Amino acid sequence: MNVNKIHSRAHIVAAAVVSLAFLSGCTFWGKKEKEPAVLVVNVLDRALYDDCHIPGSIQVDFGSIMDAAKKWSKSTKVVIYCANYACSASASAVRGLRNDGYDACEYAAGTAGWYQAGYPVVGQAQSPYLQQANEPHLESASDLPVISTQELKELLDKNGVQEK
């Protein structure tokens, strides 16, 4: 075989490999995961999350929220919740996320608010806080966007968020 033909074939193969490598990152070539319209995040510890959480929500320890957020799109609406109105972890997490440019809001009523509204939950729901009075406090953060229980339910229904 002629050296020029070998050289020419090598160029063609190299061009094909480069083209395939480029195309593999395009959505029409391979499946890219669709960005969720809403991400509901529980910042309680794993044991409380496993006991009772909103269907479709994910668990991220409060102390790890900013690291976890690096994997999220800033165009995705992020709803953060914790146990109840008495818990301030969700407000702190939302403040940090908003300062970093995320579209984040707080579901201040938390797991207890969702549970007490009679909406479906995942887990055994045995934690005592789920049965305790759950009312907003006067010192609640007024500088943060807050979503109500009904608004969250409508948002989840609209976006088809379900247990993963």
Handedness of CA 93, 96, 99, 101 (dihedral sign): negative
> For residue 121, what pLDDT is reported?
97
* Residue-by-residue pLDDT tens, the chain, 164 positions: 554 554 445 444 334 333 333 333 333 344 445 678 899 999 999 999 999 999 999 999 999 999 999 999 999 999 999 999 999 999 999 999 999 999 999 999 999 999 999 999 999 999 999 999 999 876 656 789 999 999 999 999 998 876 54
Task: Give which of 47, 59, 56, 52 is closest to 123, Cα–Cα.
Answer: 52
Quick one: fold of 38-159? Oxidized Rhodanese; domain 1 (3.40.250)
What distance in Å separates the CA atoms of residue 51 and residue 32, rounded to the nearest whole number? 33
The per-residue b/e assignment along 135-161, b for 16 or more CB within 10 angstroms, e otherwise, is eeeeeebeebebbebeebbebbeeeeb
- Those residues with Cβ within 8 angstroms of residue 122's Cβ, 6 or more apart along the chain or in another chain: 52, 53, 54, 55, 163
The residue ranges of every structural domain in the chain are: 1-32, 38-159
- Those residues with Cβ within 8 angstroms of residue 140's Cβ, 6 or more apart along the chain or in another chain: 85, 91, 108, 146
